[in-house]
Structure formats: C-alpha cells, structure tokens
Amino acid sequence: MISHLLVNNLHVDVPTIHEFIAQAKACFDEKEPSIQAFVPEQDRFTRLYDDAIALHFRYPEPAKRPPLFGALVGIKDNFHVDGFTTQAASHLPVEALQGEEAESVTRLKEAGALIFGKTVTTELAYFSPIPTRNPHNLEHTPGGSSSGSAAAVAAGLCHLALGTQTIGSVIRPASFCGVVGFKPTYDRISRTGIIPLSPSLDHVGIFAPDAISAKQVASVLIEDWRFDTTQRKPTLGIPTGLYLASASDYALARFDIICKLLSEAGYKLRRVKVMDDFQDVQDRHHVILSAEAARVHREWFEKYADLYSAKFVELIQRGQAIGDDQLQAALTARDDFCAEMRRTFLDHDIDFWICPSAVNVAPKSPNGTGDPVMNLPWTQAGLPAINLPAGKNQTGLPLGLQVVGNWYKDESLLFGARDLERILAGL
C-alpha cells in the first residue's frame, strides 16, 4: 500500500527526508527532460524538501500518520492549488484563471500527500498538441487531456496523480501509459476548484500504479466511502454491437484473449447487445460538451478570443450555435441514457461491463492524443470506470482493459479490480 511504502521512505529524521527528496530529484532529472510530464517550476525540490520537513513535524509519530503520508502527487494543471499558478496550457491572462484550491487537492494534503507539481494538460482540457511523451516510447502520445498525470505515474516520477475526464481523458491515457486510471461515478469526487470544460460531463479521476493504491486514494477523495468485502466473483458483461465494433481489429483480438483468460479463471462472461443508437449517443455528447464549453467560456471568449487556439475556437463557435432548448433536450436524453445503462446491469444480472480502454495502442505524437470513443458512453452515463493494464503489443506499447461498474458502485468496482488486475498481470 502507498502509506506503508512511504512511511518507510519519509522516516523520522532529516537525513532520511533529504535522501527521499534526493532520490525523487535524481529520477526527475533523469526522465523528465525527455517525457515533459510536469509544468516547469523553479526551486521545485527546495519547496518539496520544506514541505516534507513540515509534514514530518506535523506527524512525528509513525502510528498516527495519515493514509497518504509522504505520497508524491502530480496535479493536472486545470486544478487550483494554493501556491501554484493555474494556466491550463492556455494563453489567457493568468489572473483570469485563478481560483480557490480544489477540494480534491485539499483532501490529499490532509491525508499527508506532498504536491510534487502541476502536470501538463492539453489546452483547457480539450484537444491540442502537447509536449509530453509516452514513457514507453517517446515517439508516441501519452494520451490526453490528462497527459502529464498519466505519463508521470507511468515513469515513476510521482506515486499518484489527479486528472479530469470529459470524454476519455483519464481511462485512455492510463491505457496508453500502462497504469491504473480510475474515473468515479459522476460527482463522487468533488469538481470544485477546477476549471470546467463541460460541467455536466466533467469527472475528477485518479492515476495510480495499481488497483489497491487507486482504492486507497479514492477512499480519501470520496466523502461517503463505504468499504466493500464482496466474496463472490462478479459476472462480467461484454457490450456487443456498434459500440464494441468501434475498437480496432487489433484491440478486439486482444480483448478476445483477455475474455478467454478471464473465463478460464472462473469468471462468468455474458455477451449483451447494447447501445443500438450509439451514433446518437456520440452526437449528443458533443452537443452537450460544445454547448457547455461555450457557456463556460462566454465572458473569457468575449475578451480574449484571439488567445484561444483554432481548435478551441471551433469548439466554442460550434457551441454558440446550440440554443438552450437544444442543450436541455440533449441533457434530458443523457439522463434517460444514464437510467437505461443503469438498468442493463440489473436486467442482465451483470456486475461489471468489460471492454477495451482505447481503440488501439497509443498513436505517434503528431497524430494527436488518440480517439476517446471507447470511454464516451460510460462518461456520459456517469458510471464508474477503471483502466487495468493488460499487456503490451510487440513494440512495447501498453494496452488496457476498461471495467465499468454501476451507479455509485465505485467501492465494488475497485474491490473487484484487484483480482482482475492479478489475472491480467499474466499477459
């Protein structure tokens, strides 16, 4: 567990803390120049050393230390963090973007985490070019928009990181980078203190090296956390039809191998055709996203339109053409879709859906941050989802399995993910 590891590292005397920070700096100096996961910061390690000393004196007795004591955390640069500037990879004036610290960040600090720094995001958490590279192959993207958070955890630069997902910005980069990425039920992790993109679709998510660490962090960030000790193996649903067909032939072939492996391990798999209207689901998502983004940025765009990228301008202009009645109709249809997808678990006696986390492995960086279509419906429905690493292709690029739980079943999903992770480790 994170806490056990870090209590041993961040021990009781100053020389040990010095060594802890020195090791983090050595790793950073070796890897960060090529990966570029973090927003540049002057005197990062002087600040971090001071923070670690203060944390030690606040909790001198190991037995009384909080659960994330000494964990180094990366924070996506659309979260507000006290003492840090929020720029969100945009060219808007700095003073226009600042705000009070995100509740999720405050919770991590109260649990003993140390803020390692801000991680790189695409412009305002939408699609745009990024400097960050995939640690498994520097020619490939880590995914987006939580690019730096996924890459930082994958490279071992920090122990965990926060990101956001509006379409697929946690699950997809976690898959591309070979780490665990968890997106909770909509709004179970507070969105306060974050620059929004589409408030009806935005989720806060977690990147971690393994499922048990993700579960530990989620229990800190989710206020009404309930411990789950389910003993039986869950029944896994395979969502056949137009949605699943969106994955590449290679991803589907790998998914078939995973399904066979899980079946041999004693899991009951059930194929169910769902989302016959998948194109409508996608169209509705983009209506909501563009319309809400235009409304979020209305005042900024009136003042600073020339400071946005062409891609973001296109998003806003598309959203400006969507009337309030059309947006409300899309939101109502989204609510109906959410209820429908929640019912599918009960109608077919399914505990979790399983499917590819992305349409393929990470594309090369000039080709963008990857297609989020495999994540889109679960985000729209607000259902909890997790990426579990599921082997690599012949060139060493990771693949992932996306596991989706029912509404407010985050605890069950994270509990069940541990056994699935163990089985997938054999790939």
Q: Which domain holds residue 17?
A: 2-221
Residue 301 lies in a domain: no
pLDDT digits (tens, 9 = 90+) for 380-405: 999 999 999 999 999 999 999 999 99
Per the structure, the count of domains in the chain is 1
CA pair distance 313, 416, nearest whole angstrom: 42
Distance CA 384, CA 388 (A): 13
Per-residue pLDDT band for 176 (boundaries 50, 70, 90) equals: very high
- Percent of the chain having pLDDT more than 90? 93
Is residue 297 a part of any domain in this protein? no
Question: What average pLDDT does the segment 3-14 reach?
Answer: 42
Chain centroid offset of residue 258 CA: 22
Active-site annotation holds for 219: no
Selecting among 128, 145, 309, 412, the annotated active-site residue is: 145
Question: What's residue 125's pLDDT?
Answer: 98
Q: Which of 3, 128, 149, 169 is catalytic?
A: 169
- Please determine, for residue 6, whether its predicted confidence score (pLDDT) is greater than 50: no
Q: Give residue 230's pLDDT.
A: 76
Look at residue 126 and tell me if it is in a domain: yes
Torsion from C-alpha of 41, 98, 196, 107, nearest 10 degrees: 70
Q: What percent of the chain has pLDDT over 70?
A: 96
Sign of CA dihedral 167, 171, 175, 176: positive
- CA 240 from chain centre, in angstroms, equals 25
> Which CATH number does the domain housing residue 136 bear?
3.90.1300.10
Judge whether residue 65 has pLDDT over 60. Answer: yes
What mean pLDDT is predicted for residues 229-240? 91
Average of pLDDT values for 28-35?
98
Q: Name which of 106, 105, 107 is nearest 119 in CA terms.
A: 105
Angle (CA) 244-248-253 rounded to 5° is 85
Q: Bigger pLDDT: 13 or 286?
A: 286
Would you call 157 helix, strand, or coil by DSSP? coil
Half-sphere CA count of 339, side-chain side, radius 13 A: 6
Average pLDDT over residues 291-313: 98
- pLDDT at residue number 229: 73
Segment 47-56, tens digit of pLDDT: 999 999 999 9
Residue 16 — pLDDT band, cuts 50, 70, 90?
A: confident
* pLDDT confidence of residue 232: 87
Pair 218, 182: CB distance under 8 Å: yes
**Mean pLDDT throughout 232-256?**
97
Residue 15 is predicted with a pLDDT of 57
Residue 121 lies in a domain: yes
Judge whether 145 counts as a catalytic residue.
Answer: yes
Asked, for residue 199, whether it belongs to a domain, the answer is yes
pLDDT score at 293: 98
In a domain, 153, yes or no: yes
User: Rounded to an integer, what distance in angstroms lies between the CA atom of residue 375 and that of residue 352?
Assistant: 15
Region 231-236: mean pLDDT is 92
Q: What pLDDT shows up at residue 11?
A: 40
The larger pLDDT score, comparing residue 367 to residue 371, is at: 371
Examine residue 285 and state whether it is found in any structural domain, yes or no: no
What mean pLDDT is predicted for residues 225-253? 94
Tens digit of pLDDT for each residue in 100-143?
999 999 999 999 999 999 999 999 999 998 999 999 999 999 99
90 is known as an active-site residue: no
**Is residue 284 included in any domain, yes or no?**
no
| Mean pLDDT along residues 167-187 | 98
Q: pTM (2 decimals)?
A: 0.96
Residue 2 has a pLDDT of 46
Q: Is the pLDDT of residue 203 over 80?
A: yes
The yes-or-no verdict on residue 10 having pLDDT over 70 is no
| pLDDT class of 228 with cuts at 50, 70, 90 | confident
pLDDT at 166 over 50: yes
